[in-house]
Structure 1
Amino acid sequence: MAIADIAEYAHLSAADIEGLGQDLDGIRRDIEESLGERDASYIRRAIAFQRTLDLASRLLIAGSRSRTGWWTGTLSLAYAKCIENMELGHNIGHGQWDWMNDPEIHSTTWEWDMVGPSSQWRYSHNYRHHVNSNIVGVDDDLGFGVIRVTRDQPWKLENLFQPLRNLLLAATFEWGIALHDFYSERDRVETPDKKAAERKLLLRKIGRQTAKDYVLFPALSGRRWRRTLGANVTANLLRNVWTNVVILCGHFPEGAEKFDPAVLDNETRGEWYLRQMLGAANFNAGPLLAFSTGSLCYQIEHHLFPDLPSNRLAEVAARVRQLCEKYDIPYTSGSLPRQYLSTLRVIHELAFPDGFWTSTDGAAPTVPQRIIHRLRRLDRSRPESTVLVQD
């Protein structure tokens, strides 16, 4: 059930929570004071690599005549789009590089390679989600309004279809996020003129994005336009699915707690920090996988410090884990397959009414229960490289 009293849940005193907040403020301060040319060079290299890979992939798709060349170019283009979406668009949009005062790498000027305008995403994601993360009825990203992810959300007959909804959301993730952000932004503006302006902004961005991927680049390929069109459709699909997997693994696996709106009453800085730590989940990743996810494998640290540069989250994670040990706070982490399996389990279990998976007379487990138990045994048999894992 949703947590209404974070301090009681975590068995921490007011002094402990204040101390935790000061320790985390210290981590933020240390990182901010150490930012410099090394970090600026990192993001510039990342941008140059992504743009070079994107161009090389498109040239390979248009110029090669073999199926192998097409697939190589398409997969490379999909990877370039993943980097642009998470390492660049998402992180720059969070203001992680605003300290550079570079007008080309700034949260207010960067427009990402997605159908939704980045300005609408910034309000929905940076404020509605990150400030109120995992608060039932307040955080619009809690299931994105189409997936039930906690028993605190009333079950509806339509939830039976949420496994299918999840598959459709993964395939069309950029479109789902665009509509989600638009409705969030529309709720914020007050006058009909402003609402109409936001609608026009979305439609213009959709027009530009679809024309680029599905008209302009295919047209530049001449008689081989079908080859380029198919590659762009496939690359966007793969990017959507990968982004969906990464986002779901950071927010919805078992161990990522949900909260009652009561936690917002007089919430202190330390309590906000603690809510972020309890409400997010990580998955284990080396440098390549971390880069491929925009360092969102460190979702706990990202929620604690959403505007700190992504290339510093690995060192932040080491210090956050030490604090979790110090204050006896769960640190939810595991392998990527484990976290995704856990997320799918939540989505499929909560598609059914409460009590469906439990024997009503307390006798032997139901067939659905036995299936879930087998999945959990398989899940727990996977080796872990992180010492602090919340089951």
Structure 2
Amino acid sequence: MAPATPPAALDEHQRPVSEFAELSRTVRQAGLLERRVGYYAVKVGATLAVLAATWAVFAYLGDTWWQLVTAALLAVAWTHVSFIGHDAGHKQILRGRRANDAVGLVHAGLVGLSYGWWVGKHSRHHANPNHEHDDPDLDIPILAFTAGQGRNKQGFSRWTAKHQAFLFFPLLLLEGMSLHWSSVHAVWRGQMKLRGLEKTLLVGHAVAYLAAVFAVLSPGKALVFIAVHQGLWGLYMGCAFAPNHKGMPSPSDDEAWDFLRKQVLTSRNVRGGPWVDFLLGGLNYQIEHHLFPSMPRPNLRRAQPVVQAFCAARGVAYHQSGLLRSYADVLRHLHAVGAPSRVSSR
């Protein structure tokens, strides 16, 4: 099912301003915004235990090509560590900002990311989801996510936009290195409050990671291990975030959507049950997450039927699809957006 065409632009005062307040009241009364400390205690403990066990297996196996299996397992563990950092950044885990930030800083440090940089970037995304100019997640020079971006590409970027439906998943193999570089660039430019601590965490991570890999593996195997691990981590991260908004309506500066519609119409949910919940770290409930960013991850599933029914009663399009269909929709959208580049090159 294709995403519904967004409604015509209306002045925000033409819509009932109480709609989201009504939904929020219903969700709050159901207890869905209450912290789930016990759940996160188990989730954090289990995730860190798996991470530690994976490194223990790495040390035990020694200098062997079987370590490429370890690299794949480590990529999965890093992604789930990153999911916890994401939840901490949204203040889902604990009540206080400082406590959540402490959890986020530790988990970001374990995978070599700047927590402060990511929180700032992600907050801008939540404020303007899928907006061509204001959503930083759409600001990727070599890809085009809107028709306007597709028309404006030049040189190498035009070539990548032309073939982006075929290049999208291979390019995700570079996402891990891109995240590392963006973190280092932001910290050394001083774009966050805890610059000194963030520097220490990034340097400490790089030294410990490289020392461990090169201490156990010969140089050739070490380089291949790093490439496989970082590539699969980036691929998994990209596959978790890609279905959320790509291919959904992109609001313009002339459209005054209220908060409810801005978050719902630009987001896509992914169906699939508990295994998809685990695989995507709860990001498959993207509509509920965007409406209530601080809602704990395990409550999103319970909120989903409430939000869907609320939207249906008010004629607000609520889009969800299966996992494979969501990727197909993303690729179909990328192929369509790249059409101007293909036509102009003939």
The two structures have a TM-score, normalised by structure 1, of 0.72
SS in 2 for 1:160: helix
CA contact (8 A) 1:324 1:331 kept: yes
Cα distance in 1, alignment partners of residues 239 and 80 from structure 2: 14
Report which stretch shifted further, 302-311 or 197-206. 197-206
Whole-Å separation in 1 of the counterparts to 2:192 and 2:41: 36
Task: Name 2:19's counterpart in structure 1.
Answer: 20
In the TM superposition, 1:197-212 aligns within 5 A as: 206-212=202-208
CA spacing shift, 1:108–1:61, aligned 2, 3 Å: closer
Q: Which stretches in structure 1 are left out of the alignment for 5+ residues?
A: 187-191, 358-391
Q: Distance in 1 between matches of 2:9 and 2:101?
A: 41
Corresponding residue to 2:153 among 151, 156, 160: 156
Q: Distance in 2 between matches of 1:340 and 1:210?
A: 33
Q: Shift of residue 215 of structure 1?
A: 2.0
Are residue 48 (structure 1) and residue 45 (structure 2) matched? Answer: yes
Matched, 1:242 2:242: no
How far residue 178 of structure 1 moved from its aligned partner, in angstroms, is 4.8
Q: Is 1:346 aligned with 2:333?
A: yes
Aligned residue runs from structure 1 range 49-198, under 5 A:
49-64=46-61, 70=67, 73-86=70-83, 88-99=84-95, 103=99, 106=102, 109-112=105-108, 113-126=110-123, 128-153=124-149, 154-157=151-154, 158-162=157-161, 163=164, 166-167=168-169, 169-179=171-181, 194=190
Match of 1:287 in 2: 274
8 Å Cα contact 2:250-2:266 kept in structure 1 = yes
Q: CA deviation at 1:101?
A: 7.0
Aligned residues: percent identity? 19
Task: Name the stretch that deviates more: 295-304 or 226-235.
Answer: 226-235
For residues 6 and 347 of structure 1, the distance between their equivalents in structure 2, rounded to whole angstroms, comes to: 19
Higher relative contact order (CA 8 A, sep 6+): 2
The two structures, once aligned, show a CA RMSD in angstroms of: 3.8
Spell out the pairing of 1:223-234 with structure 2 (5 A cutoff).
230-234=224-228
Unaligned runs of 5+ in 2: none
Residues 1:30 and 2:29 aligned together: yes
Q: Which whole-Å CA distance do the structure 1 matches of 2:333 and 2:261 have between them?
A: 23
CA distance in 2, matches of 1:25, 1:195: 33
Q: Does 1:306 align with 2:305?
A: no
**CA-CA distance at 1:322 after TM superposition:** 0.7
- Deviation at residue 234 of structure 1 after TM alignment: 2.3
Q: CA separation in 2, counterparts of 1:281 and 1:353?
A: 25
Q: Provide the C-alpha distance between the structure 1 equivalents of 2:58 and 2:204, rounded to a whole number of angstroms.
A: 22
CA deviation after TM superposition for structure 1 residue 52, in Å: 1.0
Cα contact 2:130–2:138 (8 A) shared by 1: yes
Instruction: Name 2:264's counterpart in structure 1.
Output: 277
Q: Does 1:8 align with 2:8?
A: yes
- 2:236 and 2:45 map into 1 onto residues whose CA distance is 22
Mapped contact 1:104–1:110 kept (Cα < 8 A): no
Higher-Rg structure is 1
Instruction: Tell me how far apart the structure 1 counterparts of residues 250 and 309 of structure 2 sit (CA, whole Å).
Output: 23
- In the TM superposition, residue 104 of structure 1 has moved relative to its aligned partner by 6.7
Conservation of the 8 A alpha-carbon contact between 2:87 and 2:296: yes
What is the alpha-carbon distance in structure 2 between the residues aligned to residue 71 and residue 324 of structure 1? 46
> Are 1:323 and 2:319 counterparts?
no
| 1:119-168 deviations in Å (ceiling 9; x for gaps) | 01111111x11111122212121253432111133332323213276345
Partners of 2:120 and 2:197 in 1: CA distance: 14
Q: Which amino acid aligns with 1:292?
A: L
Q: Is the 8 A contact 1:93 1:110 kept in 2?
A: no
C-alpha contact 2:76 2:236 (8 A) present in aligned 1: no
For residues 181 and 131 of structure 1, do their structure 2 counterparts lie closer, same or farther at Cα, with a shift above 3 Å needed? farther
More deviation in 132-141 or 207-216?
207-216
User: TM-score by structure 2 length?
Assistant: 0.80
Taking a change above 3 Å as real, the CA distance of residues 173 and 27 of structure 1, as seen in their structure-2 partners, is: farther
- Alpha-carbon distance in 1 for matches of 2:14, 2:126: 23
Structure 1 range deviating more: 337-346 or 226-235: 226-235
Cα distance change of structure 1 residues 137 and 241 upon mapping to structure 2, 3 Å threshold: same
Secondary structure of 2:136's aligned partner: coil
Alignment partners' CA distance in 2, 1:194 and 1:101: 21
In the TM superposition, what whole-angstrom CA distance separates every residue of 1:291-321 from its partner, at most 9, and x where no partner exists?
2212001111111111111111101111111
